[in-house]
Structure 1
């Protein structure tokens, strides 16, 4: 189970990335979550572990279950999200960061639990 997240004040946000679209940052003992406002009402959550692994990169291995719990814990439990696997020519993989795009409307093709 994912522990509660603490919202960080702006003065404590990571300084390596200055992006005006960043609107919120949360931490807990295991994860750092950054929120970015994208076009069309889409919100991007960038999620990484707070542990360093080999070569000074953040430790990899965030499970689907952890991503789902993190999405819920930072306030988006009622929204659909997607993780994108781009065309090979568009791959950018410079750090062990996972991105969830929180959509403004429910996905028309998602499986839904029977009511």
Structure 2
């Protein structure tokens, strides 16, 4: 891809500073566009190559918003060892060609192009199979009911704060979750879950409703103690 001029990069950075916009599907030959909708010679060549390369039912599609360009394609079962699991590969790059890699934005990308209930991973490989050729990032997304057997098991989405425990940045306009909780409630929920685990409960059997019910009981007991 030809290098962009400083003016082109400045215009793209300005686009990226605007509020998050939904993804729009682009033609495959837009992979090297400087202007969406106007195929370049390189873009047409890329399209011919990719359509041939991914003609085996991979369903390659290209998506763009004001911050990222994403290639979305199915991963054939022959190319992975996850039994009976549908996997989608998202190849992501910022439209200003920078190394922008924002976890929160990548979560939004996964949600929009696969689904809220899908789970995804990035791979940080051994040095012997590392690939680092451009400012482009990759996520492999798993269709439900598959769940990555690592990570946290309860949803914690915390409101903006800055405290001795760390800092949480502001939520972007239009993307602020409805179920934000105060920071103190995070530690309360963690204690409840740990108590359940210590009592012998399996982590997969603990539900959000159960944790919320116990939280309400604890709060009621605290109020009663404060009144007495």
TM-score range, shorter chain: 0.7 to 0.9
- Structure 1 residue 2, shift from structure 2 partner: 2.8
- The residue number in structure 2 matching 1:55 is none
RMSD between aligned alpha carbons? 1.9
Larger Rg: 2
Normalised by the length of structure 1, the TM-score is: 0.81
Name the structure 1 match of 2:176: none
Gaps of 5+ in 2: 1-18, 32-42, 78-85, 155-206, 209-228
Instruction: Return 5+ residue gaps in structure 1 as ranges.
Output: 52-57
Q: Displaced runs of 4+ in structure 1, greater than 4 A?
A: none
Contact 2:114-2:141 within 8 A present in 1 as well: no
Q: 1:75, CA displacement in angstroms?
A: 3.4
Normalising by structure 2, what TM-score? 0.44
| Cα contact 1:22–1:34 (8 A) shared by 2 | no
Aligned partners of 2:87 and 2:140 also within 8 Å: yes
Structure with the largest fraction of helix: 2
Q: Find out whether 1:82 has 2:121 as its counterpart.
A: yes
2:136 aligned to which of 92, 97, 107:
97
Q: How many residues align?
A: 108
